[in-house]
C-alpha cells in the first residue's frame, strides 16, 4: 500500500506542475497580466522560466522515490547504452544553434523594453517558423533529444520511469498548445509543414523525402 500511495503522490505532484505550468504559459494569463500589470510584461518570460525551474526542482525533491529498480544493466551494456545518450546530447547542442537562446529565456524582451521597443499589443510574442536543421525531421527537436537523453541510461528506477513518462506526456500536451499559437501566426505555411514533419518523433518517410 505504501508504494501505491507513493505513486499517487508522484502523479498528483507532476499533474499539478503540468497544469499550473501550462496555465501560466497561456495567452489568456499573459493577457490578464498585460491588462493588470502591463509594466511587468517584459519580465514575464524570464520570471516564468526561473519559477518553473525552481518549482520543478522542489517537486522532484519532495516526491517520494520508491526504491524499486526496473533494470540495472551490467558491463558492457551499461556503457553501450550511453552511446545514444551521448548522441542525443549532441542533438541538443545542434538544436540550440537554431534557437535564439536570449529570446527563449526572456532576456531579449527586457532589453527591448529598456530600449522602448517592446510590443505590448502582441505581448511581444516573436515566434519564428523554423524548418531547417533538426526541424527538417521533427517539429520539436528540443523535446525529442531531451526524451532520448533521459531514456538511455544504464539504470532505471520506478520513480525515474514515471518521471520519464510524465515528461513525454507533458511535451506532447505542451507542444500542442505551442503549435496553436504558431498556426495562428503562420497559417497555411505551418499547416503544410505539419503534414510533412512529425511532431516529436520523426516519420520514416521524412528521411527519404
Give the pLDDT confidence of 34-79 residue by residue, as tens digits: 888 888 888 998 999 999 889 988 888 888 888 889 999 998 999 9
Nearest to 107 by CA among 121, 124, 92: 124
Give the predicted TM-score (pTM) of the model: 0.86
41-45, 122-126, 164-168: range with lowest mean pLDDT: 122-126
Give pLDDT tens digits for 70-118.
999 998 999 999 999 999 999 999 999 999 888 888 898 899 888 888 8
Mean model confidence pLDDT for the chain? 88
Nearest to 138 by CA among 102, 97, 105, 95: 95
Top mean pLDDT of 26-30, 91-95, 172-176 is at 91-95
Rounded to an integer, the average pLDDT of 130-134 is 91
* pLDDT of 121 over the 80 cut: no
37 phi, psi to nearest 5 deg: -135, 65
Report residue 158 CA to chain centroid gap. 22
Instruction: Give residue limits of the domains in the chain.
Output: 2-208
Amino acid at each position: 500500500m505504501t508504494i501505491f500511495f507513493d505513486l499517487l503522490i508522484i502523479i498528483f505532484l507532476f499533474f499539478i506542475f503540468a497544469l499550473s505550468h501550462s496555465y501560466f504559459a497561456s495567452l489568456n494569463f499573459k493577457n490578464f497580466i498585460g491588462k493588470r500589470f502591463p509594466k511587468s510584461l517584459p519580465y514575464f518570460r524570464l520570471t516564468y522560466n526561473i519559477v518553473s525551474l525552481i518549482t520543478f526542482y522542489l517537486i522532484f525533491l519532495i516526491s517520494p522515490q520508491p526504491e524499486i529498480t526496473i533494470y540495472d544493466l551490467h558491463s558492457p551494456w551499461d556503457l553501450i547504452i550511453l552511446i545514444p545518450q551521448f548522441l542525443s546530447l549532441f542533438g541538443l547542442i545542434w538544436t540550440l544553434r537554431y534557437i535564439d537562446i536570449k529570446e527563449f529565456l526572456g532576456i531579449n524582451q527586457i532589453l527591448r523594453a529598456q530600449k522602448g521597443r517592446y510590443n505590448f499589443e502582441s505581448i511581444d510574442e516573436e515566434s519564428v517558423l523554423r524548418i531547417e536543421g533538426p526541424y527538417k525531421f521533427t517539429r520539436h527537436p528540443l523535446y525529442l533529444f531531451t526524451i532520448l537523453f533521459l531514456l538511455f541510461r544504464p539504470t532505471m528506477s520506478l520513480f525515474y520511469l514515471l518521471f520519464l513518462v510524465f515528461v513525454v506526456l507533458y511535451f506532447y500536451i505542451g507542444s500542442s498548445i505551442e503549435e496553436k499559437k504558431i498556426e495562428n501566426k503562420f497559417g497555411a505555411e505551418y499547416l503544410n509543414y505539419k503534414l510533412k514533419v512529425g511532431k516529436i518523433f520523426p516519420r520514416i518517410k521524412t528521411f527519404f523525402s
